[in-house]
Amino acid sequence: MKSICIGTLLLGGRVAFAQAPSEPFPPAATVKQLMLDLIYPSSNDILLAIYRGGPKDDQEWATVRRGALTLAESGNLLMLRGRARDQADWMKDAKMLVDAGNAAYKAAQAKDGNALAPLAGALDASCTTCHKQYRPNVFPKGGGSK
């Protein structure tokens, strides 16, 4: 009797596990493309909603939810081999983006403007901290994000 299970194959009383490919999937985007086309517009959507007093309707909450999920997953993408600049500050900064995105997503799912509002600081910190280290020319001397 032959039986195939997800992830395993039973052959002659032995179980063989499917192995992941030895090479990662090639990235579809550079770090710059992730920043310009995913992270920057998603963070702007969230920050605009916060600075305007919070989302006003289901469509605005959906925009925040999508942006938050995009930020969380983009942080994960930044930690992948080939994109991570180092295993110290880069990973810590990318994790801050993941955490800010996850918190914003949770607030958007609950449609909780009181939980969303303080996340502007966490989102700004995740971007500013990384850019000061890896793109120091983005901010003028002694300045932060504006």
**pLDDT at residue 141, rounded to an integer:** 61
Q: Which domain holds residue 72?
A: 31-138
Q: What sign results for the dihedral spanned by CA atoms 43, 49, 53, 55? A: negative
Find tokens 């710059």 and name the residue. 32
Measured between alpha carbons, how far is 18 from 15 in angstroms, rounded to an integer? 10
Q: Read off the CATH number of the domain in which 96 is found.
A: 1.20.120
pTM of the model: 0.78
Span 53-91, pLDDT tens digits: 999 999 999 999 999 999 999 999 999 988 999 999 999
Measured between alpha carbons, how far is 116 from 93 in angstroms, rounded to an integer? 20
Domain count, the chain: 1
pLDDT along the chain (146 residues), means of 10: 42 48 74 95 97 97 98 96 92 97 98 97 94 83 50
Identify whether 40 is part of a domain.
yes
**pLDDT at residue 137, rounded to an integer:** 84
Q: How many CA atoms lie within 13 A of 80 on its CB side?
A: 17
